[in-house]
Copies of this chain bind each other. A is one copy, B any other.
Amino acid sequence: MRNFEFLSPTRIIFGKDTEKQVGEQTKNFSKHILLHYGGGSIKKSGLYDTVVQSLKAAGVSFTALGGVKPNPRVSLVRKGIEICREQNIDFILAVGGGSVIDSAKAIAAGVPYEGDVWDFFRPVAEPKEALPIGVVLTIPASGSEASKSCVITNEEGWYKRSMNFNILRPQFSILNPALAYTLPAYQTACGAADIMAHVMERYFTNEKHVDFTDRLCEATLKTIIYNGPTALKEPENYDAWAEIMWAGAIAHNDFLGTGRVPDGASHKIEHELSGIYDVAHGAGLTVVFPAWMRYVYKHNMARFEQFAVRVWEVDSYFDNPEKTILEGIQRMENFFLSLGLPVTMKGLDITDDRIEEMAAKATERGPVGNLVKLYKQDVYEILQSCRK
């Protein structure tokens, strides 16, 4: 196990009707805030009104900035920064899923920074401070509600890039599983896949003696494997959503990665897919992850065998570990398919004529991944194997 420092100070407020506490929580930080959200879904569902009422009751005024898109754009981030500066806003409330939270984080870091916010993503600068933010979560997926991560897409060149800093962690996050009832099935499935991918990025490490975090990762993956299908079949099953939502926050707050180095290659490769083709991140991941696994498993057979046996409950072929491993990967693919997710580029409805470009962009800052360092040719071959 490696030395590590772990800090996760976000106050989690979890459960039924907790969104009604948003005003009380927010007023501890500011009396005039930016209320940041996405499309019209929170207006349709009534959540927007609930939040506005709670803010008003707590004496908190706000400027609303909606319009965050999936794969959130730096242009809107820049607009948010401008508004905050003009109005001396010092707190951002994100009401939505990972895209809205990430957009809020980027605004929060951009306001006190004199240069352009994209500097943090290129990266040629690091944020030294950030406005505090709060969250009302509507989609369990990104884990951004408790993480230090922020992923933004630049429309100039369709670069999708991330930054990771503790100062970006939300002050509080309100998680009411019932707010996920209205998610379209495809988004529910993509969220489950994203959560699993966050865990798997940490699980696949060459680090030795990480027994505790291995078991925690396996526990989290099994929670999604057992509860994801239930939430799909019964969209108003509170209990299933509660498991998914809590697991989703823990999957990416770094706890599961303590003492180990995450891999990260699949996320980086996928960012090229969703950056260029604007596909759902979770669906991009279910295409890339199995392909990545089949490309790299020979570098650490014991780990992939453990994954197959402990997570996918494969009855080990003791005399043929490779068979065990491939059975595990197959079960994972079957699971993704059962959720209605693609496992090939064809399933994503995208063509394959930009594979070379994606491989080049993914590796333009050096090789990706830690379990195995992957260079342009490796990424090219992984993407090629996703074509079928």
Contact = CB atoms under 8 A, between A and B. Distances in A.
13 contacts: A3-B15, A4-B12, A4-B14, A5-B13, A6-B12, A12-B258, A14-B259, A209-B239, A209-B243, A212-B223, A215-B219, A215-B222, A242-B259
Interface in A234-255: 239, 242-243, 246-247, 250
B243 A1 contact: yes
Contacts of A220: 212, 215-216
A258 B243 contact: no
A4 B15 contact: yes
Contact of A18 (B3, B215, B246): B3
A225 to B, nearest CB: 11
A215 B211 contact: no
A246 to B, nearest CB: 5
A18 B6 CA distance: 13
Nearest to A239: B209
Q: A16, A219, A227: which has the most chain B beta carbons within 10 Å?
A: A219
Contacts of A258: 12, 14, 246
Contacts of A277: none
Interface string A251-287: 0000000110000000000000000000000000000
A8 interface: yes
Interface of A: 1-9, 11-16, 18, 208-209, 211-213, 215-216, 218-220, 222-223, 226-227, 239, 242-243, 246-247, 250, 258-259
Contact of A211 (B13, B211, B226): B226
A9 B6 contact: no
A226 to B, nearest CB: 6
A223 B211 contact: yes
A99 B121 CA distance: 47
Contacts of A219: 212, 215-216, 218-219
Nearest to A21: B5
A243 B211 CA distance: 7
A222 B215 CA distance: 8
Q: A7, A226, A246: which has the most chain B beta carbons within 10 Å?
A: A246
Nearest to A208: B239
Nearest to A12: B6
Contacts of A227: 211
A269 to B, nearest CB: 29
